[in-house]
Structure 1
Amino acid sequence: MGKKRLEDAIKQIEQPVKVVYRCFELDPHAKRDNDKSIYEALAAKYGMSLDQARANTQNMVQMAKAEGLDFQMDTLVLTNTFDAHRLTMYAKSKGKMYEMADRLLRAYYTESKHIGDHNTLLELAGEVGLDHNEVANMLTGNDMSEEVRSDEDMSRRYGISGVPFFLINQKYALTGAQGTDVFVSALQQVLEQDGPFKK
C-alpha cells in the first residue's frame, strides 16, 4: 500500500525519481511452513484477541481497497521470507527488481501464494522473465544471502524497526502508511532543498 502511494506521488511531481527496494524481514525467525493465520499471529504478537486482530486487519484491507489493491488476508500464507528477499536481490542483478517485487507482493497479499516455497518462487521468477535453472541454482545454494544481510544491517544502522519505511536522498525519512499527499509534499520539499534526486 505504501509502495502504491509512493508511485502515485512520483507521477504527480513530474521529476525523475529512482526507487530502490531494500530487504527487511518482519520476522526473521518465522518458519517456512506455518499453519497460523495472520489473525492468530497478530493476536500473539500484540497481546490482543482474535476479534481485535481481525478488525485491525480489515481496516488495512479497506485502506488497500481504496488504493485499488485487493488484500486477501483470510487466506494469506505466513512464511519465512528470506528466500523471497534473495530472489528479489537476484532479480535486481538482472535488472528485474521492480517486476519481481511487484509480482511477489501480489502473490502474497492477493493470490495467497506460499512465497517461502521454492517451487512457488521459481514459478513467479519465470513469470517476470528470469531463467529457471539459474534461479533454481540460486535458491538451492546461498547466493544473494550476503546482499540481503547487508540491507538488513543497513536498516539496523538507520534504526528502522518496521515497514513501510521510506528514506529519501539517504537523509529524509517517512514511516508508516502515509497518504499520497504526504509523499508529494515530502518529495517537493526535498527537491526544493536538495535539487534533483540522486541517481
Structure 2
Amino acid sequence: MRIEVWSDVVCPFCYIGKRRLEAALKEFEQADQVEIDIQFKSFELDPNAPVNSNQTTNEKLAEKYGKTLEEAKQMTANMTQQAAEEGLDFDFDRTIPTNTFDAHRLFQRAAEQGIGNKVSEQLFHAYFEAGKHVGDRSVLKEIALQAGLSEDDVKAAFTEEKYATAVRSDEQEAGQIGVQGVPFFVFNRKFAISGAQPKEVFLQGLQKAYEEEKQAPAFESIGDKDTEVCTDEGCDI
C-alpha cells in the first residue's frame, strides 16, 4: 500500500496529521499483512515568503486573516492544544516564519538517500518544538547531519538543480490531482484524505485501501478470457 503525503514543514496541521496517521497505523489490524510505503511530498504554502521575516507567527496570522493579535494568539493556542493531544509540544512564541524552499530541497535529497521520512520528522520538530530557523542553511545542515546525511549531501541539496526540480514536480503534481491545501493524503492513488482528520478517518482510509487492494485483480481483463494461450504445459489447440 502506498500512502503519499503532501505537506509543508511550517504547516501545523501537517505535523498533527502525520501523528494521527501514525496512530492509525498502530491500530490498523491488517498492518502485518501488507507492506505500507509512506512517501512525503513537497508543498510550499507560501513560495514567496522571505527567508528572514520581521514578524512573529502570531503577527503574521493576524495580518493574513484580518485578526487582532489577541485573536491570532487564541488561534495558535487552539492549535497548540490539538498538538498536545497528539503528544506534540508546539511553541508558537518561538517559531520563526520563513521560506521553506531550501528545507524541501534538503528533504528531496534525503528522500533520494532513503531517509526522507526521518528528515521530514526532524524538520517539523525543529520548527514547531525547538524554535529553529528552518530557512537558515546552517540550521538545515545541522538537521541533515543529525539525521545521517553528509556534508556532501547538504551541498548537493542546495546546488544541484534536480532537487529544486523535484520540489516543483511535487507541487505541479499536487495541482494536477486537485490538492488545494495540506496536509493531503493519497492512498494507492484511489482514495484521498484532506486535512488533519481524526485518527478514525485514517483508519477508515487504511481499511478501504486494504480491501480494494486485496480484491482488485492486477489488471482488468478485456476481451474473451477463453481465447487460446500457451502455458508451460503446452498450447491450446
Structure 2 length-normalised TM = 0.79
Superposition map of 1:32-47 within 5 A: 32-47=51-66
1:142 matched to which residue of 2? 161
69, 76, 87: which is aligned to 1:57?
A: 76
Unaligned runs of 5+ in 2: 1-15, 217-237
2:36 matched to which residue of 1? 17
Deviates more, 1:125-134 or 1:23-32: 125-134
Say which structure is richer in helix.
1
Give the percent of matched residue pairs that are identical in Structure 1 and Structure 2: 40
> How far off is 1:141 after superposition?
4.8
Q: Structure 1 counterpart of 2:187, which letter?
A: I
1:118 matched to which residue of 2? 137
> How far off is 1:140 after superposition?
4.0
Contact preservation (8 Å) 1:37, 1:76 = yes
Superposition map of 1:21-170 within 5 A: 21-170=40-189
Structure 2 residue 27 is matched with structure 1 residue 8:
no
Q: For 1:100, what is the secondary structure of its paired residue?
A: helix
Q: Structure 1 counterpart of 2:52, which letter?
A: D
Contact preservation (8 Å) 2:51, 2:136 = yes
Contact preservation (8 Å) 2:108, 2:157 = no
Superimposed CA distance per residue, residues 61-104 of structure 1 (whole angstroms, 9 cap, x where no aligned partner): 00100110011111101100000000000001111111111111
Deviates more, 1:182-191 or 1:138-147: 138-147
Q: What is the rounded CA distance, in whole Å, between the counterparts of 2:205 and 2:46 in structure 1?
A: 29
Cα pair distance change 1:196/1:154, threshold 3 Å: farther
1:178 matched to which residue of 2? 197
Let me know the Cα RMSD of the aligned residues.
Answer: 1.6
Unaligned runs of 5+ in 1: none
Contact preservation (8 Å) 1:86, 1:143 = no
Where do 4+ consecutive residues of structure 1 move more than 4 Å?
none
Say which structure is richer in strand.
2
Structure of greater Rg:
2
Structure 1 length-normalised TM = 0.94
2:213 matched to which residue of 1? 194
> How far off is 1:143 after superposition?
4.2
Cα pair distance change 1:140/1:194, threshold 3 Å: closer
